[in-house]
Structures are given as structure tokens and as C-alpha cells.
Amino acid sequence: MAGWELRHTRDGYADALLELGERDPRIVVLDADLAKSTQTEKFKLRFPERFVDCGVAEQNLMAAAAGLAATGKIVFASTFAIFATGRAYDQVRNTIAYSNLDVKICASHGGITVGEDGSSHQALEDIALMRAVPRMKVVVPADYYEAREAVKTVAYLEGPAYVRLGRPKAPVLFGDDYRFRFGKAHLMRSGKDVTVIACGYLVHKALEAAEELAGEGIEAEVLNLHTIKPLDRQGILESVSRTGRVVTCEEHTVIGGLGGAVAELLAEEMPLPMRMVGVRDSFGVSGEAEELVEHFGLSARHIAEAARALCDLAP
Amino acid sequence: MNPAGEPGRYAGMGTVYPETEGMVLRETEAEEIRQRLETISREIRKDVVRMIGLAGSGHPGGSLSCVEILACLYFYKMRHRPEEPGWPLRDRFVLSKGHAAPALYAALAWCGYFDRDELWSLRRLGSMLQGHPDRLRTPGVEISTGSLGQGLSAACGMAIGLRLDKLPCRVYALIGDGESQEGGIWEAAMLAAHQGLDNLTAILDNNGLQIDGQCCEVVDLGDLPAKWRSFGWEVQEVDGHDVLDICRALDRAEEASGPSMIIAHTVKGKGVSFMENNVDFHGKAPTREEMERALQELEGA
């Protein structure tokens, strides 16, 4: 982690909410007794009349969010990723998405980097769950600025969206002038030998891996796939058609997440050698965030190894 | 079928509901209102039987038990404009027990939200009338329901949203007794009371039966009036097939200082002798012969 400036993605969410709330009276925020953690408390303090704490009742949170949206509000619904997508899956699917309502589910504490709380609080399947719901858009910001800009963008996209935020501070990759382009893979580094596609907390790991590979003469292209649904099919195919190899990286199960989405695309359109860096069909455990990244094989070293293995294959 | 002799509009039902702008019951008009609501209830009931009979599937029992409740809401209490379903000042209705969709669809059709001919396409591919309510397909449906225990939460959200906008609109939610076994109902009950949602009225279709048998034998709901009172709601109990009883309760609910619950004691399958209190007709369509027999009974009622 040396050399990076660190900031929370959930702070980017909170700052976006303040900006949105200031200029748009339709913005309403709901939380489920986690406002201090998800950072919606900042909105609550500024706009108390437009904040509703639903208590420890995530299912009610989601269905009530749908009802609010049905009266013309743009509703942000926040809790931890595991509860937003697991506990309240049916409400999200049947009442929010089936009704195509403007509910933006902005969930913090996604992924293994939740850390010490352990498996019950580590959402490793949330991207898969949300990606499978029709009409749902899925965004995984990598840093403070991307989170801030992504939230401001999804606020005005029609219908439901899921934004996955993290618990730990994440390396700052962008600046105040960062322009978030919904649905477009973001080229972070160009290369010709292998395409490394990452999201969220693993984007900086992918960049570190690319740096390591460069020292060995392997030029890795790094894509920040902040929008997992809708998938930037064209952008991904364009890159992998040049490199011929792809590594995906996510702090999520390899089943149905970013890796799954890319694999589905390539299997149909352009089958080629691929490796997935992610959690291998397993629950999480307690530990420090960075320890867990290492433990589950998600570090820059692991990404570089996967890329190297692909490059060692005969072309 | 249509007392007005023409499909669609409710106009033929008389002039008591000229703008469906809602009303308060005057005792001098009570008898006239009773007759009209009973007439529309009988028509909705016949439509429900025919719709489900023609579809070959659906939920007749819980649709027939809530007919009077829907008639009182759509043809007495609620302010709404069938010709302008998105009218911002309309009262909102949420059918939390979404499997009673046929009764809702019939009420909406009689109001004039869509042509009554649509009713006979229920559950068919391409129909605007899905097995459970879909707000994107059916004019007048405020939110999609069907998975139980979610509609009351959605109604809470609507009530909060309307209050934020300082609109005088009310929100009505119809829940089932079997549905009340869902935890979400009680999460919503707590939130509504905590938020003091005096613009929210819930009606419980207390027909006593669910798919697997009597509610008290499956998982007993206990003392429902006491439960709702202890959750902070004002509670009334009515005969769910007595339209004036329902109308008066709907009027009184508007005076409540918080959320209001009307527990309507109903009969599952009401109006059709062989469906009444018969759990088999929770989710089973009548055969063609049963449908004809049911329609004859209802014609004679």
C-alpha cells in the first residue's frame, strides 16, 4: 500500500449525496441503522427531513424505498452489501426492479476487505446476485472520486442501480476532475500482451501487477471495469482482440461476478485463454483487509502470476 | 354483464361517484350508496369468477373475499381519475396480497382504467393483466406485488413520499392474514407507527384460510387487533362484506393520529356456495361447469 494516498469510497458516496441533495429536492436517503458506517449520516444531518432510518429491517428498507420512488423521489437505499443484496434480495428483485423504480442501492462493506467482522459480513456474492436481476445496473467504483462521480451519474439513470462501496480506505487513482463514463471500461494502462480487467479495490492491485510484469518484459493492459452491468462488450473485445489473453480480478466469488461476466462475453464472442483472480467458491474469514487479500490470492503478486501463466502458454 | 349496458366506464353505476373524488358517507344517502356498492361488488365478483375460469388458473378464494373492500375503495373512498392514472393528487392503493389481482383488475376495469374486454385475457401471453399486478403493464396499478409481505412496506414509502411533498393524498394497502405471517409486515408496521403515518390506512382481509389450511392451524396469527394496537396502530374491526360498515371505517380512519388498520372479517370464496370457506379454491380455478354454476348463483344473488 506504500505510495498511495488513501480515501474511503463511501466518503465519495456521502459527498455526492450532499451535492445531489443540495440541488435536487427529490433526493431521499434511507438507511437501516448503519448511517454512521455507510456515511449517509452526513446527508441525515444536512437534510433530516429527507432521511429515513428504517432500523434493523433491510427488507422493509428496500420495499419502502420502492414506494418512495413510486411517488417521484430518487431514493438512495444504504446498508451493508451483504444485507442489501442477500437479506433483501426478494424485495430488490420483485418490488424495486420489477417495478422499474428509481432506487439506487448504494451498499458499503462489499467484498473480503470488510476484514475482521468475518464471513457473515463479507459480501462475496453481491455482484452476482445483482447482475442477475433484470433492469439492475451494477457499478463498482475503485476510489473516492470514482465513487462520488458514479453516484451522481446513477442518480439520473432510469430505474434501479447497485453501487458497491468498500469498508477500507482505497488508493486514490483519480482526481477532482475525473469524468465517470457509465458503461465504459476505463483504460488505466496500455499494453499488448495481456488484458487485466479489475474493479473496485483490486484496480490498484492490477496496476501494481502490471508494473511488476513490465519489469519482466510483459506489457499488461489494465482496464478498470467500474460498470459490470451493462457490460462494455465493445471495449473489452477491442482490448482482448489485441492482447489475446485476459485476467479478471475482483474481491468477489469467481462465480457470476466480473470474471463471470467477462467469461460469458468471451465464450460467445471470442474464446481465448483466461484466468480469474477472485474468491474460489468459499466463505470469508476474519482478518485484516490486506491479509485477506493475500490469503484469498487476490494480491498484485497473484494477479501477476496469473498473467505470467497465460503469457507462458503457446500463442 | 354491464349494468350500464356498455363496456368500460363506471358511469352506468349512477351519479354518486361523479368524479371519483372521494366522499364521506351521509346517512341520508346510505341506502343508495349501499345498493350501488353491492351492485358493483356483484359485478366484480362475476368478473373474478369468469376471469379465473377462462384463464384456467388463479386465486378465486382470496379474490372473492376482498371484493367489497375494493368496491368501497374504488367507488366510494378514494380520490382518483381513471382517465388520468398518473394524476398527482390521487390516493394510492397497494394490493399487498397480489394474488387477489383478478378482483383489482375487475375494479379497475369498472372504473374505466382500461377496457373490460381486457379482463378475459388474464394470465395469457401478451396480456396487460399478469397473474400478479405489474405496474408497468396495467394502468392503475401503483406498484408491482405478488411476493407477499412487501406491499405494506411500499405503502409506507408512498405515505412518506406524499407527506414530504405535503400532498393531501392517502395511501391504502390491502394485506392478507396468511400474508401476515411474513416478517416484513411487522417491520412495516413498526416503521409506519414510528413515522406517524396518519395518511396510511391498511385493510386486513381476514378470511382465516391460507393454502395449507386454516391460518390458526398453519401458524396461528394470535390476537391480531391486539397485535396491531400494540404496534401503535389505531384498529377497527368490520364485517368485510358489509359495504356501509367498511365505508364508515374508511371515513373514521382518516381521523386517526397515526396509521390505521381496518381488520375486515371476511369469508374466503364469498358469494359462491361451493367456494365459501373451501381452502381448495385458494389457488385453483373453477372448471367450466363450476364457473357456469358460480355465475348462475351470482346472477341470482
Reported as a pLDDT band with limits 50, 70 and 90, residue B27 is: confident
Q: Chain A residues with CB inside 8 Å of B92's CB?
A: 70
User: What residues 154-213 of chain B have any CB closer than 8 A to a CB of chain A?
Assistant: 154-162, 164-165, 183-184, 187-188, 190-191, 194-195
Among the partner residues A49, A62, A66, nearest to B143 by beta-carbon distance: A66
Q: Chain B residues with CB inside 8 Å of A75's CB?
A: 157
Judge whether A28 lies within some domain. Answer: yes
Burial of A292: CB neighbours in 10 Å, binned 0-12, 13-18, 19+: buried
A257-272 pLDDT tens trace:
999 999 999 999 999 9
Sign of dihedral through CA atoms A300, A301, A306, A307? positive
Q: Which three cell numbers stand for residue A306?
A: 496469473
Q: Which of B143, B145, B166, B194 to mutate to test the interface with A (most CBs of A within 10 A)?
A: B143
CA B246, CA A209: separation in Å to the nearest integer?
Answer: 69
Considering the domain architecture, whether residues A224 and A255 belong to the same structural domain is answered as yes
Concatenating the DSSP letter of every residue in A247-306 gives: EEEEEEESSSSHHHHHHHHHHHH----EEEEEE-S-----S-HHHHHHHTT-SHHHHHHH
Considering the domain architecture, whether residues A40 and A151 belong to the same structural domain is answered as yes
CB–CB of B161 and A55 under 8 A? no
Judge whether A135 lies within some domain. Answer: yes
B202-252 pLDDT tens trace:
999 999 999 999 999 999 999 999 999 999 999 999 999 999 999 999 999
Average pLDDT, chain A: 97
Q: Does B136 touch chain A (CB under 8 A)?
A: yes
Which has the closest alpha carbon to B172: B187, B156, B160? B156
- Alpha carbon of A270 to those of A243, A260, A267, A303, B76: distances in Å? 12, 14, 6, 22, 62
CB–CB of A63 and B157 under 8 A? yes
Judge whether A1 lies within some domain. Answer: no
Judge whether A272 lies within some domain. Answer: yes
Considering the domain architecture, whether residues A16 and A128 belong to the same structural domain is answered as yes
Reported as a pLDDT band with limits 50, 70 and 90, residue A315 is: low
Q: How many domains does chain A have?
A: 2
Q: How close, in Å, is residue A90 to chain B by CA atoms? A: 8
Considering the domain architecture, whether residues A132 and A251 belong to the same structural domain is answered as no
Reported as a pLDDT band with limits 50, 70 and 90, residue A314 is: low
The CATH number linked to A158 is 3.40.50.970
pLDDT at B17 over 90: no
A127-138 pLDDT tens trace:
999 999 999 999
Q: Chain A residues with CB inside 8 Å of B90's CB?
A: none
Q: Which three cell numbers stand for residue A36?
A: 454512521
Judge whether A26 lies within some domain. Answer: yes
Average pLDDT, chain B: 93
CA A151, CA A182: separation in Å to the nearest integer?
Answer: 10
Q: Chain B residues with CB inside 8 Å of A50's CB?
A: 164
pLDDT at A175 over 80: yes
A271-298 pLDDT tens trace:
999 999 999 999 999 999 999 999 999 9
Considering the domain architecture, whether residues A33 and A132 belong to the same structural domain is answered as yes
B37-69 pLDDT tens trace:
999 999 999 999 999 999 999 999 999 999 999
Considering the domain architecture, whether residues A19 and A78 belong to the same structural domain is answered as yes
Compute the residue count for chain A. Answer: 315
Q: How close, in Å, is residue A86 to chain B by CA atoms? A: 15
A180-197 pLDDT tens trace:
999 999 999 999 999 999
CB–CB of B154 and A28 under 8 A? no
Considering the domain architecture, whether residues A26 and A167 belong to the same structural domain is answered as yes
Task: Give the helix/strand (H/E) hosting B264.
Answer: strand B260-265
- This prediction's pTM: 0.95
CB–CB of A95 and B195 under 8 A? no
Residues of A annotated as catalytic (active site), given as ranges: 58
The CATH number linked to A276 is 3.40.50.920
Last residue of a domain, one of A111, A146, A171: A171
User: What residues 30-89 of chain A have any CB closer than 8 A to a CB of chain B?
Assistant: 49-50, 52, 54-55, 57, 59-60, 62-73, 75
Interface predicted TM-score (ipTM) of this complex, two decimals: 0.96
Last residue of a domain, one of A139, A171, A203: A171
Considering the domain architecture, whether residues A47 and A165 belong to the same structural domain is answered as yes
A5-16 pLDDT tens trace:
999 999 999 999
Judge whether A177 lies within some domain. Answer: no
pLDDT reported for residue A24:
98
Considering the domain architecture, whether residues A83 and A146 belong to the same structural domain is answered as yes
User: What residues 12-51 of chain B have any CB closer than 8 A to a CB of chain A?
Assistant: none
CA B47, CA B61: separation in Å to the nearest integer?
Answer: 14
By residue range, what is the domain housing residue A195? Answer: 186-311
Q: DSSP secondary-structure letter at A120?
A: G
CB–CB of A65 and B157 under 8 A? yes
Q: Chain B residues with CB inside 8 Å of A159's CB?
A: none
Rg (CA), chain B: 18
pLDDT at B278 over 70: yes
Considering the domain architecture, whether residues A203 and A260 belong to the same structural domain is answered as yes
pLDDT reported for residue B23:
66
Reported as a pLDDT band with limits 50, 70 and 90, residue B3 is: very low
Last residue of a domain, one of A136, A171, A206: A171
Considering the domain architecture, whether residues A203 and A147 belong to the same structural domain is answered as no
Considering the domain architecture, whether residues A147 and A282 belong to the same structural domain is answered as no
Instruction: State what percent of residues in chain B have pLDDT above 90.
Output: 90
Q: DSSP secondary-structure letter at A10?
A: H
Judge whether A181 lies within some domain. Answer: no
Judge whether A274 lies within some domain. Answer: yes
